Amino acid sequence: MERLADQYANRAVRSVFIYTREAHPGENYRHHRSMEEKRRNARAFLEHSKVRRQILLDDLEGAAHRSYGLLPNMTWIIGRGGLIHYKSAWTSAADVADALEGVLDFQANRAKNQWALFYSERTAWSTRDQARFHEGLVRAGPQAVADYERMLKGSGTSRNAPSPDIGPRVPGNFYRTEEESGER
């Protein structure tokens, strides 16, 4: 996402990172009980990740995060004036770039071409880097690892393949085969 931010900065696209609650708190990076604790974790994130985008902290109660849907790593594209062009449950730089091209084309050529905007939904996909994700859990602390493993045992998410052409199920994939839905 850093590369994407740099790539589009000269096309009047502003990219920001909004810091929320800790998704997988552990002994090393605990849940926030104050804004100072939130700032401390955000500074540690900045130091580790070398994010160059502007980092903006949501309030302690997560007012913005709640309003936008509470997911841990979503991305939104907002057009000039506040029109929501894109919302994604997970962040994929390739998918964001694809959507951005459409948004910029729309904004530049809408009037000339008399384009009318309409609502649409679609799926997207990305590679799940489980090794890198696990590194993050270890960094957060043993509790974060244990909490996540407990969730996996309980839900089985990310391990089942609903069909040969739809890949492993991840959170946010609502697809169920006829058999799983009890329709067959």
**Which window, 6-14, 124-132, 161-169, 175-183, contacts another protein (CB under 8 A)?**
6-14
Query: How far is residue 28's CA from residue 139's CA, in Å, rounded to a whole number?
Result: 7
Q: Exactly one of 6, 36, 52, 64 binds another protein (CB under 8 A); which one?
A: 64
Question: Closest distance between another protein and the C-beta of residue 164, in Å?
Answer: 23
Query: How far is residue 36's CA from residue 43's CA, in Å, rounded to a whole number?
Result: 10
169 touches another protein by CB under 8 A: no
User: What is the per-residue binding string for another protein in 13-52, x denoting contact by CB under 8 A?
Assistant: xxxxxxxxxxxxxx--xxxxx-x---x-xxxxxx-xx---
Give me 78's structure tokens.
């907002």
Question: Closest distance between another protein and the C-beta of residue 113, in Å?
Answer: 18
Query: How far is residue 55's CA from residue 52's CA, in Å, rounded to a whole number?
Result: 8
Matching residue, tokens 């649409």? 120
Query: How far is residue 180's CA from residue 184's CA, in Å, rounded to a whole number?
Result: 8
Q: How many residues bind another protein (CB under 8 A)?
A: 96
153 touches another protein by CB under 8 A: no
Instruction: Tally the C-alpha atoms within 13 A of residue 15's C-alpha that lie toward its C-beta.
Output: 19
User: What is the per-residue binding string for another protein in 111-150, x denoting contact by CB under 8 A?
Assistant: ------xxxxx--------------xx-xx--xx--xx--
DSSP 77: E
